Amino acid sequence: MQRARIIKSTGSWYMAELTNGTVVACRVKGKFRQKNIRSTNPVAVGDWVGIDGAEGEWVINTIEERSNYIVRKSVNLSHESHIIASNLDLAIVVATMKDPVTFPAFIDRFCTAAEIFHIPVAVVFNKIDLLNEEERALLDNFMDVYKTLGYESVACSSVTNEGISDVERLLKNKVSLFSGHSGVGKSSLINCIDSGLDLRTGVVSSAHRTGQHTTTFAEMHKLSIGGYIVDTPGIRGFGMIDVTKEELAGYFPEMRKLLPECKFYNCMHMNEPGCAVKKALQEGLIAPTRYNSYVGMYENNNEETFRT
Ligand code: GDP
Ligand code: ZN
C-alpha cells in the first residue's frame, strides 16, 4: 500500500499524488464509513489515503483521519453532507478597502466559519496601491484587530508587488483556500505568485449558481513556490455556519475567553446585565467592528445561518 493525497475528484474517480510526486488515477472499492459524518462522497480532495495498484488500476483502500474539512449540506434534505475539501492548512480571505469595499462583517463571517471548521485563518488586504496615507493608516489599525486575534494579516498590491512576498510566505508549503468577493484581485494575486497556474474558475469561484443542482468538486493546484491552492468552483465562502446561536460567541476568539465571566450562563451578550463581552467592548478591549459582526450574525436568524 502507498500513501497518497487526493488532489482532484470527479465523483467516480480520483487523482491522487503519491509521496514521490507521481499522480495516478484511482477508484474507490467497497464502502467507506467515516466517523460522525454521513457524506455523499466517501473521499474528498485533500484526503490522505492508502492506495494499492497493479498495472495502473489503483484502488483507494483506506482514508486517514481528517484534521478538518469543509462540508455542504446536500440540497435534498437527506441530512447527508458533501465534503468539499479536507486537511486545509489555511483559509485566506482576500479583502479590499475600496474597489470594491469589503465590509468587516464579511471578513468576520469568514473568520468565524473557519474557526468552526478548525481551519487557521489569514486576512489579505489587496489593492493597497489605491490608498492614500490616511486610508493606509486606517487599514493598519484595522489589520491590528486581526493580528491581535492571532490571525495573520497582510497588506499587498498585485499592481505594485508590495507585500506579495508576505502573501507567498503565507501560501508556501501549505494547502490553502483562497476566498473573497469578486473583483478583489484573487486571480491577479495568484497570477503574481505563480503565473503558470491555470485555475478553471479564477480561483475560488465567485460565480454564485443559485438554485442549481450542481455538484461541486474541488481541485488542488500545486504552486511553484511549494504548497497548493484549493479551487472550489461554484462555492462562495463557507456557506452555512453549522452552530447554534448559543454557540456563536465561542467562535469569536476575543469573546470565547470572556464567556465564563458573564453573569448569566446563557448570556447572549446583547443587553444582559453583568455581560463580560459588553464590558470589554465598552473598555475598548473588543473591536466595535467585531462586536457588530457578532450581532449581525446573531440576528441573522435563519436556517441558512444556524443549525436549529
Ligand atoms: P477576482 O475576481 O478576485 O479574481 O479579481 P481579479 O484578479 O479579476 O481583479 C479584479 C480587478 O482588480 C482587475 O481589473 C484587476 O486588474 C484589478 N486588481 C487586482 N489587484 C489589484 C491591485 O492590487 N491594485 C489595483 N489597483 N487593482 C487590482
Ligand atoms: Zn455576555
**What tens digit of pLDDT does each residue of 254-296 get?**
999 999 999 999 999 999 999 999 999 999 999 999 999 999 9
pLDDT in tens, 14-45: 999 999 999 999 998 766 655 556 677 789 99
pLDDT the model gives residue 206: 40
| Ligand nearest, relative to CA of residue 189 | 1
185 lines ligand 1 (CB under 6 A): yes
128 lines ligand 1 (CB under 6 A): no
Q: Which atom in ligand 1 lies closest to the alpha carbon of residue 206?
A: 2
Residue 211 has pLDDT above 70, yes or no: no
Contacts of 240 (CB under 8 A, 6+ apart): 72, 73, 304, 305, 307
Q: How confident is the model at residue 54 (pLDDT cuts 50, 70, 90)?
A: confident
129 lines ligand 1 (CB under 6 A): yes
Q: Are 115 and 253 in contact (CB under 8 A)?
A: yes
More confident residue, 307 or 207: 307
Q: How confident is the model at residue 81 (pLDDT cuts 50, 70, 90)?
A: confident
**Residue 100: cis peptide before it, omega within 30 degrees of 0:** yes
159 lines ligand 1 (CB under 6 A): yes
130 lines ligand 1 (CB under 6 A): yes
- Long-range contact set of residues 10-13: C-beta below 8 Å, sequence gap at least 24: 10/217, 11/41, 11/215, 11/217
Q: How confident is the model at residue 202 (pLDDT cuts 50, 70, 90)?
A: very low
Q: Which atom in ligand 1 lies closest to the alpha carbon of residue 130?
A: 26
Residue 212 has pLDDT above 60, yes or no: no
Q: What is the whole-number distance in angstroms between the Cα of residue 111 and the centre of ligand 2?
A: 20
Protein residue with least CA distance to atom 7, ligand 1: 185
State the average pLDDT over residues 74-81: 64
Query: What would the grid cell of residue 8 be?
Result: 482532484
Residue 179 has pLDDT above 80, yes or no: yes
186 lines ligand 1 (CB under 6 A): yes
Contacts of 156 (CB under 8 A, 6+ apart): 124, 125, 126, 128, 162, 163, 164, 166, 167, 189
